[in-house]
Amino acid sequence: MKNNQKLFQSLLIVLFFSSCNIDEEPPEVVNSVRGWFTINKNNIGVNLSWNHSDNKDFEKYIVFKSKNDGSVENIGETEENFFKDSNVEWLESYNYFVQSVDKIGNESELSDSLILRIYSVSGNWVLDSFDSTYLCIDHNQTISTSSGSFEQKGYFLSDGYELLLNDDSSDLTSSVGDTIVSKMLFSACNIDSIALVGSGWMTYQTTILDTTVNGDTISSVYNNFPIYFDMDLKDPSEGKISFSSPLFDKLSMQHSLKFCSGDSIFN
């Protein structure tokens, strides 16, 4: 009987110390969560990344999301330190959180929230009032150089864009002295990814009907002078281009939700 009691006590001691060795320590909180909404073709959505866990018993990450500060929901798991969320709506705001889990199943606290608004200045900006159909703002533009090509991050208006303000070159009622073509020629413009503003130079050109003394020749006269412009795309529905010269009114643009090639961003 005494032997059985000693055996039982020994088992209790073993169980007690074994239970003390169970890992109940949660992993470290995920930090440096970053995100970027992109409308590149075949890559529409939010791309998340964060610092990888250095816990030896790391198992996976769980990604959570809430819409407009609503309820938090689990949207997926990954073993990598990045995640893609394609289930987004234009101009909605989302909160993202990341949680790490170890092999025992211990869960860290949720990371600090990353708040993203589903808005990108890239794509087509329509100018309904003029002959030009749109301004194309490129996202992560490929730059070609003599030593090769590279991808430059951010938003860009390509160099040499022409905006036609007037085109009456085929108007048979035009007479000498009439302006038959007027247009703006824009320099390249880099749009700040946070402030969503940029600037550059614009050259204004007018083509006027002229004639020789004998009246038998029609030629074009070009007037060129540089004007500084500012581009503001903070408003997702209406962009503005303003000029340093009081001779020019602000230009209004509407985001068309289309790629530069014309394909719809959101079906």
The domain that contains 81 carries what CATH number? 2.60.40.10
The radius of gyration computed from the CA coordinates of the chain, to the nearest angstrom, equals 31
Would you say 222 and 210 are in contact if contact means Cβ atoms under 8 Å apart? Answer: no
Looking at the structure, tell me whether residues 36 and 81 fall in a common domain. yes
Task: Give the model confidence (pLDDT) of 53-81 as tens digits.
Answer: 888 889 999 999 999 878 999 999 999 99
Evaluate whether residue 220 is within a structural domain.
yes
* Structural domain ending residue among the three candidates 117, 134, 158: 117
39 pLDDT tier (thresholds 50, 70, 90): confident
Same domain, 223 and 246: yes
The answer to whether the beta carbons of residues 156 and 193 sit under 8 Å apart is no
The verdict on 162 and 250 lying in the same domain is yes
Determine what percent of the chain is predicted with pLDDT higher than 70.
88
Are 14 and 109 within one domain? yes
Torsion angle defined by CA atoms of residues 137, 138, 144 and 150, in that order, rounded to the nearest 10 degrees: 140
- In-domain check, residue 83: yes
Residue 264 lies in a domain: no
In a domain, 216, yes or no: yes
**Is the pLDDT higher at 41 or at 206?**
206
Query: Does residue 227 contact residue 203 with C-beta atoms inside 8 Å?
Result: yes
Would 267 be classed as within a structural domain?
no
Question: 139 and 250, same structural domain?
Answer: yes
Expressed as residue numbers, the domain containing 53 is: 8-117
Q: Point out the domain boundary residue: 117, 149, 164.
A: 117
What's the structural domain count of the chain? 2
- pLDDT of 166 reads 84
Give the pLDDT score at 61. 96
Range of lowest pLDDT (17-21, 23-27, 44-48, 98-102)? 17-21
Q: Are residues 107 and 133 in the same domain?
A: no
Same domain membership, residue 77 and residue 15: yes
Query: Residue 17 has what pLDDT?
Result: 46
Average pLDDT over residues 90-110: 93
Residues 139 and 97 in one domain: no
Q: Is the pLDDT of residue 11 over 60?
A: no
Query: What is the mean pLDDT of the segment spanning 214-234?
Result: 80
* 243 occurs within a structural domain: yes
Tell me, yes or no, whether 230 and 176 share the same domain. Answer: yes
pLDDT at position 97, please?
Answer: 96
Question: In angstroms, rounded to a whole number, what is the distance separating the alpha carbons of residues 27 and 106?
Answer: 7
Question: Residue 5 — pLDDT band, cuts 50, 70, 90?
Answer: low
Structural domain contains residue 187:
yes
Q: What are the tens digits of pLDDT across the range 169-223?
A: 777 777 777 877 888 999 989 999 889 999 999 998 888 877 665 555 666 777 7
**What pTM was estimated for this model as a whole?**
0.72
Q: Half-sphere exposure of 134 toward its Cβ, with a 13 Å CA cutoff?
A: 18
Q: Are residues 166 and 184 in the same domain?
A: yes
What's the pLDDT score for residue 151?
Answer: 72
Distances (CA, A) of 117 to 18, 40, 94, 96, 120: 49, 16, 6, 11, 9
- Chain mean pLDDT for the chain: 84
Do 234 and 193 meet the contact criterion of CB atoms below 8 Å apart?
Answer: no
Question: Are 14 and 132 in the same domain?
Answer: no
Q: Is residue 33 part of a domain?
A: yes
Same domain? For 132 and 236 the reply is yes
